Structure 1
């Protein structure tokens, strides 16, 4: 066999790692450890990744900047994509395979931040005995918001979270919108308006809203702010709330519930902490379900 040829049987953990990269595109070594080896040592994840590199299934680039700058950022090689997609029932990838150039580009910061959001929910679910696993969120999900071809809203991710049966069965969805403070607040407000349109959109001839064909309940929007110091993010959130207040679908009684938080607080305190501001109720903070509000 030539070097890099996938041979032998992979462990369940190795296969799950490949599936995570297939679903989430880019993950750091630390993120993979948080997902797959939460009680293990980082060295264990590094050894598993070294094996997959040897088999030609994964590759890595350096982190562009920030606290992860000494970590590697991992993605699937074409051979790795083939291995995952050969498994029956695997959801086809909606994006083209990553190259080194793409993994090192502007995509990196945004994708890793979205995955930090998902990991925060995975960790919270573990602590509470709920169900939100390493594949509990899906990136770049398209939803219709009108009759024209361009009337769509693309969620950065859709997250699925299931409460422990002892607490009463419930499945909760969230549209994840990750804002890195790189665009005017007006553009962010316009995208939230599109979410409101999607919540009301009914295809011609249909008897109910289109989202009901995909979800048991209407997903709320979770807007996560990052890319700037906390004080600046607070001002950005306040400006957004003020702008949305004058928008009929996003005002005091939004068509679709929208919660806002900072990524740093979400990763530090988890989604069950009172770190969220609800659009329409900016004077109180609550958890991700809108519960436990405090002034």
Structure 2
């Protein structure tokens, strides 16, 4: 993915909103144009709104916070651009009522993305706003699928570095809107995805290798990161215990043997940055680790 110059920031702003679904003015400013005054970002968003590409709602219970979202027309325009082509766009709320109902989770997902993007800038790594892909569909057969809140692409080091590596992660953002058991059940779904082989249509050629579905997209199965929000420390610990208990199941144990599965409170992510050793392995939540290792 290429960086956008100043003249292309209108385009980047619309692409980000089409991909992320929702963002506040401050989030858009920090994602798209952190090097200019926030007033310039506000004018950019108002210009896109006047063109019918984006719109906003105001949340009176949150100090009249303004939340921006793409219109149906804006999604249609952005979907044809090379940087978004070929991606299944996330379900986008385009009317005010639907936006208000979905705003809590959507803004938390955007905030999580912002932490990774800002951390990469500080570290000299590569994680641009469009390297965060919400709701990527991974079929499990029988109409079932694993749909993480986001798929993260993160390049540690740059192409000019002597050593660099590409990291990928499935991101699950939990705001305590579901019970701990339902959260833990997501581990089993990822365990199934790890071993899922689609059924061949017709007869499989005799020498065709049987291949798991995920290998069609990734050289390695992405690590799995849970970001926990919406409760105090006691609620965080309850959900960590549920994830730890689920880690003992056979399908999940197979996942943990090959894939890092980590969790962190969003408050710690904000305070320390994603690269810090703040992540708790679900198989041993008393430990602390970096998500990059």
TM-score range, shorter chain: 0.7 to 0.9
The answer as to whether partners of 1:253 and 1:280 remain within 8 angstroms in 2 is no
Aligned residue number for residue 100 of structure 1: 96
Name the SS of the counterpart of 1:23 in structure 2.
helix
Structure 1 residues 96 and 25 mapped into 2: Cα distance closer, same or farther (>3 Å)?
Answer: closer
Structure 1 stretches lacking a partner, 5+ long: 1-9, 291-295
Give the secondary-structure state (helix, strand or coil) at the position aligned to 2:286.
strand
Q: CA deviation at 1:44?
A: 1.7
Aligned length: 275
Query: Are 1:78 and 2:86 counterparts?
Result: no
Partner of 2:250: 248
**C-alpha distance 182-88 of structure 1, shift in aligned 2 (>3 A):** closer
- SS of the residue corresponding to residue 281 of structure 1 reads coil
Equivalent position to 1:15, from 7, 11, 34: 11
Listed as ranges, the gaps of 5+ residues in structure 2 are 1-5, 201-208
Distance 1:88 1:235 in 2: 43
Superposed CA offset, 1:79-136 (max 9, x none): 322332343463352425622221111x111111111111111011111111110111
Aligned mates of 1:41, 1:204 — CA distance in 2: 54
Measure the CA separation in 2 of the matches of 1:64 and 1:195: 38
The equivalences for 1:7-46 within 5 A come to: 11-46=7-42
- Change beyond 3 A, Cα 1:63–1:234: farther
Aligned pair partner of 2:114 in 119, 122, 127: 119
Aligned equivalents of 2:8 and 2:225: distance in 1? 32
Kindly provide the CA deviation profile for residues 175-233 of structure 1, in whole angstroms up to 9, marking residues without a partner as x.
11111112111111111111011011122355221111111221011011101113321
Taking the aligned partners of 2:288 and 2:61, their CA distance within structure 1 comes to: 31
Q: Given the alignment of the two structures, is residue 48 of structure 1 paired with residue 48 of structure 2, yes or no?
A: no
Match of 2:191 in 1: 196
Partner of 2:291: 288
**Contact kept? 2:146, 2:190, Cα under 8 Å:** yes
2-structure distance, mates of 1:59, 1:129: 33
C-alpha distance in 1 between matches for 2:108 and 2:152: 14
Q: Give the whole-Å Cα distance in 2 for the aligned partners of 1:130 and 1:38.
A: 17
> Deviations 1:21-55 (Å, cap 9, x if unpaired)?
11111011010011012233221211111222222
* In 2, Cα distance between equivalents of 1:78 and 1:283: 46
Q: Which of 131, 155, 173 does residue 148 from structure 2 map onto?
A: 155
Give per-residue Cα distances to partners, 1:142-162, cap 9 Å, x unaligned. Answer: 2133x4222x21111111101
When the two structures are superposed, what TM-score results if normalisation uses the length of structure 2?
A: 0.86
- Which residue in 2 is equivalent to 1:268? 271
Match of 1:90 in 2: 84
**Cα displacement (A) at 1:58:** 1.4
**TM-score, length of structure 1 as denominator length:** 0.86
Report the Cα distance in structure 2 between the residues aligned to 1:74 and 1:18, rounded to whole angstroms: 10
Query: Which segment drifts farther, 38-47 or 217-226?
Result: 38-47
